[in-house]
Amino acid sequence: MNLTQAFKIAVKSIAAKKARSALTMLGVIIGLAAVIILVSYAQGQNQQMRAYYESLGTNTVNVDVWASKDVTKALRDYCLDDLGEYIVGITPNLQMYNQTVVKYGFKTLDSYNTPWEESPQVVMGNQDYALCNNFTIARGRNISQLDIENYGQVCILGSKMASSLFNYVDPLGKDITINGIPFTVIGVFEEKDPQNMSGMDRYILTPYTASRVLNKNMDIKAFVAKAKDSASTNKAVGLIQSYLDSALGQGNGNAYTMNQFQESMEEQDKMQQRFLGGIAAISLAVGGIGIMNIMLVTVTERTREIGIRKAIGAERKSIIAQFLIEACMICGIGGIFGIAAGYIGTLIVGKASFNLILLPSPGITVGAFLISVALGIGFGLYPAIKASGLQPVEALRAE
């Protein structure tokens, strides 16, 4: 018997028992769809987290200071003068954590009572804030050194904050109040977080010297520096840490890069993918057991046919090939439907969980199909060997 004949017999056998074949395929379909959806979900989380870190800006060094000493000017001078070959900018990174009420005309946004997607977040920095935090000015101008020195009450709005407060009105030159204190809008940032995951488009940036009226002159404990490239970032972290230890004493300051957290998160995501894939693989194993069970039933039903074929000279390998091909066809067809179900499920999960058009990677798709075929071989092998080992005389006696 050649392969063409074996395929024809397999197709006839599957078609003759449509309901049974469909139920057998269902285990493979559910198992493969579960693998694809769960692994794609983990990849979607990784993709969203990566986008979040990228939105924060690449090649940045975060600096935290716990000493009571004000190091704002000294740290800036050190980074821009002594580390000028590595650092291109540094800014204080102050945030206003108490209740924030922003008003323009009849529009009021309250950080305690406004829905999260429109809740205002006041941040404070210098002229390097946009550079260090990966913001781009869409309209207007940036904060200047004069704004810092003159305690200027000016601000730059994130894209979401500009649309929430002003709708279609041009905000440039307009005055808003933050907790009753007037600030003039001098610029608007480009949108950088369309999914509103981090809330950075809801920022209102003011000069850090405005802390005296907005933040009760809170001490500056956090800074962000921008390095020229990734190599400079790694070099700058060590040098800034050495400076902090020297100027403030051991344990009073810390310099680190978000790349460290990103790498750690990506490793955790890979572990999560393997874990979720392992859970889904259990359902595949159940589907494989169903394949073996049905193939054993098929061998029992076709015992007499096997006996006739062996009596007229059929070799064991042709019997094994026939049943393996049938098992692989059942799994292969189930695999195709499972992949289709996985794609549909991934699209639904991506939209519901991340508001993204999420699709399984080609590697997952190809791997899923190969797994389905491997299931047919792995779980169909024992029934095929059992069928090929039947003695012709005993097989012919079977009813």
Strand positions, DSSP E, the chain? 60-65, 87-92, 94-95, 101-104, 107-110, 121-125, 137-140, 154-157, 175-178, 181-189, 203-207, 222-227, 253-257
The whole-angstrom separation of Cα 326 and Cα 8 is: 10
Q: Which two tokens stand for residue 245?
A: 């230890």
With tokens 């692989």, the residue in question is: 328
pLDDT number for residue 260: 62
Identify whether the C-beta of residue 275 lies closer than 8 Å to the C-beta of residue 363: no
Contacts of 131 (CB under 8 A, 6+ apart): 88, 89, 91, 226
DSSP string, 181-196: EEEEEEEEEPP--TT-
Digit-by-digit pLDDT tens for the chain (399 residues) are 567 777 887 788 888 888 888 888 888 888 888 888 888 887 787 777 766 666 666 788 999 999 888 899 999 999 999 999 999 999 999 998 889 999 999 999 999 998 888 899 999 999 999 999 989 999 999 999 999 999 999 999 999 999 999 988 999 999 999 999 999 999 999 998 776 667 889 999 999 999 988 987 788 999 999 999 888 988 999 999 999 999 999 989 999 887 666 666 666 767 776 776 677 677 777 778 888 888 888 888 877 777 777 778 778 888 888 888 888 888 888 888 988 998 999 999 888 877 778 888 888 788 878 888 888 888 888 888 888 887 766 656 655
HSE-CB at 212 with a 13 A cutoff on CA atoms is 8
Q: How many beta carbons lie within 10 A of that of residue 105, not counting itself?
A: 10
Instruction: Quote the pLDDT of residue 340.
Output: 92
Q: What is the pTM of this model?
A: 0.65
Q: Where are the domains of the chain?
A: 3-52+263-397, 67-251
Do you know the residue count of the chain? 399
| Tokens encoding 224 | 């962000």
Neighbours of 198 (CB within 10 A): 16
The tokens for 149 are 């020195």
**Amino acid at the residue 45:** Q
Query: Which is nearest to 129 in space by CA: 45, 24, 200?
Result: 200
- Is residue 204 within 8 A of residue 158, CB to CB? The reply is yes
Torsions phi, psi for 122 (to 5 deg): -85, 125
The residue whose two tokens read 């005055």 is: 175
Instruction: Return the pLDDT at 325.
Output: 86
**CA dist list (Å): 111 to 106, 119, 179:** 17, 5, 11
